[in-house]
Amino acid sequence: MSKIPNRKKLENRYKNNFYTHETVLNKLHETLKYDLESIGLHPTIKSRVKSFDSYFNKILRLLFKKNDYRKAVDIYDILGVRIVCPFLANLQTAENYVKQTYDVIQVECKGSEHSFREFGYRSTHFLIHVPEKILGQCHAVEPLICEIQLRTILQDAWAEVEHELIYKTDFSPFDEPMKRKLAALNANLTLSDTLFQEIRDYQRKLQAELDKRRESFMHKVHPSTVPALSIKKDFPFPEPNLKEDQASKDDGLKNKSVDDLLVDALIAHNTGEYEKAIVIYSSILKREFPENIKSIIHVHRGMAHFAQSHFKQALEDFSISLNLSPDNYRAFYYRGLAHEAEKDYQSALEDFNACIEINPYQFEPLYSRAELYILMEDYTKAMADCRQLLKIEPGSSKAKQLKNTLGGYKLSKK
C-alpha cells in the first residue's frame, strides 16, 4: 500500500519557510532585472512562490507516476521565475546569461518532444542553485533551488491558455478536429515568432544603414568643429563622372520587395555608389505609396544627389518631398543645406527657420543655422543659437567651441 504524505506536516513546514522563500525570490527577481537590463534586454519578469495547494498536488501527481512509492519525491520549482522576451533572439541572449551567471543543475526544453502535428509550445526551463550571496542577504539557512523559465511573449501566451484549456480542466483532445485546431494555433504562433524576429532583424539592419548614411552626410556638411569665426563653406565634394542610367541593366529591381530595395539603396549610398543608389531610389518611387512615404524616399534620393555635389537635383528632390509632406522638417533642413551650398543664404535661412519652427529640439539644424548666421555676419543671432544648442546638448564640444569663438567678437550685425 502506498504511503500518503502528511499534508498537515508539509503545510506547517511550507508556512514556516514562506517568508524566507518570498524574500529570496524577490531579491533574485531584482538581480535578474538589473543584470538583464545591463546587457540590453528589457524583458517582463514574473516570479512566484508556488502555492501550497499546487505544491501538494504536484507531490501527489509525482507519487502516482512513480513505480516505487517508498521513495520521496523532490519538488524543485517552489521558487519560480519567468523571463518573457519580445523576440526569439532575446531568448538566446538570456539563456547565455543564465548559463554564465548561475550554477545550473538542469536545462529542459519544454515542447521539443512534440512533432509539428502536435500541440505543445516550446520554452526553456533552468533549475539553478540560488547564489549564496542572495541567500546570505536574505538570512536563508538552507540551500535553495529556483526554476527559471525563458519564453517569448507568444510562447508565454500559449502556455497560459494551454494551462487553462488542458491541465486545469483534465481535458485531453482525443478527437482529431480539436487536435488539428490546437496544432494550427501552435504552428501560427511559432511562425509569428519567426516573422517578428525577421522584422526586427530587418529594422535593425535598416536603422544601421540609416545611421551610417546620416553620419557620412553630416561629416561632409560639418567636417570638423568651427576653428574660427571666418567660416568658408565651399562644400568641396568632387564631381563624379556621370554614369549611364543603370535601370535597364538591373531588371531584378522589379522583382525585389520595397524593403529589400531600400536596404540595397542605403548600402550603395553608404559605400559611395551614389548613382546605383539613385537608380534604386528611382525604382522605388515608381511604385504606389502614400505621399508621406514617397516624401521620405525623395529625401533619400536628394541626399544621394547632394553627396555628388548635384545641388540642383538635390533641391528638386527636397522640394518634391515638401510638396508631398509639408511638415517633413528634415526635408526643410536638407533643402536649406542645398541652398547654402548654392550660396543662396536667404533661402537657406528660410528653410532652416521652417525646420526649427516645426521641431525646435534638433541639434544639427540649429548648428547649421548658427554657422549660416556667421556667414551672414549676424553674430548676435548666431550666439542665441549656440545657447539653444547647449540647452539641447550641454556637453557638446562643437557648440562650446562655436560659442567661445563668438564670445570674442562684438555681437552685432555688420
Judge whether 248 lies within some domain: yes
Judge whether 190 lies within some domain: no
SS3 191: helix
Alpha helices in 66-175 (DSSP H): 88-101, 132-137, 153-162
Single out the residue in 175, 193, 218 at which a domain terminates: 175
Q: Hey, what's the torsion of the CAs at 351, 352, 354, 356, to 10 degrees?
A: 160
* Same domain as 235, residue 102: no
Note the pLDDT of residue 70. 56
**Which CATH number fits the domain that encloses residue 309?**
1.25.40.10
Judge whether 194 lies within some domain: no
Total tally of structural domains belonging to the chain: 2
CB 145 within 8 A of CB 74: no
What amino acid is encoded at 260 in this protein? D
Judge whether 188 lies within some domain: no
CB 81 within 8 A of CB 46: yes
- The grid coordinates listed for 365 are 539644424
115 φ/ψ angles, rounded to the nearest 5 degrees = -80, 170
* Same domain as 380, residue 244: yes
**Which CATH number fits the domain that encloses residue 25?**
3.30.460.10
Judge whether 267 lies within some domain: yes
* Same domain as 301, residue 358: yes
pLDDT tens-place string over residues 77-99: 899 999 999 998 999 999 999 99
* Same domain as 269, residue 132: no
- E-strand ranges in 189-264 read none
pLDDT tens-place string over residues 284-293: 898 888 888 8
Note the pLDDT of residue 411. 52
Judge whether 196 lies within some domain: no
- 387 CB contacts (<8 Å, ≥6 apart)? 403
* Same domain as 243, residue 167: no
Mean pLDDT calculated for residue range 137-159: 90
| pLDDT beyond 70 at 134 | yes
- For the chain, the first-to-last Cα distance in angstroms comes to 106
pLDDT tens-place string over residues 280-332: 999 989 888 888 889 999 999 999 999 888 999 999 999 999 999 999 999 99
* Same domain as 294, residue 250: yes
- 289 CB contacts (<8 Å, ≥6 apart)? 297
pLDDT tens-place string over residues 10-66: 899 999 999 999 999 999 999 999 999 999 999 999 999 999 988 888 888 887 777
**Whole-number mean pLDDT of the chain?**
82
* Same domain as 319, residue 278: yes
* Same domain as 255, residue 114: no
Judge whether 232 lies within some domain: yes
Note the pLDDT of residue 231. 57
SS3 348: helix
* Same domain as 220, residue 73: no
Mean pLDDT calculated for residue range 208-222: 71
Taking alpha carbons only, the member of 105, 98, 102, 58 closest to residue 78 is: 58
Single out the residue in 175, 193, 210 at which a domain terminates: 175
Calpha distance 48→45 (Å, rounded): 10
**pTM tops 0.75, yes or no:** no
Domain holding 209, by residue range, is 202-407
Per-residue HEC secondary structure of 311-346 comes to HHHHHHHHHHHHHHCCCCHHHHHHHHHHHHHCCCHH
Taking alpha carbons only, the member of 145, 311, 114, 296 closest to residue 213 is: 296
* Same domain as 237, residue 170: no
Note the pLDDT of residue 120. 52
Beta-bridged to residue 150, according to DSSP, are 83, 124
* Same domain as 168, residue 223: no
* Same domain as 282, residue 139: no
Judge whether 215 lies within some domain: yes
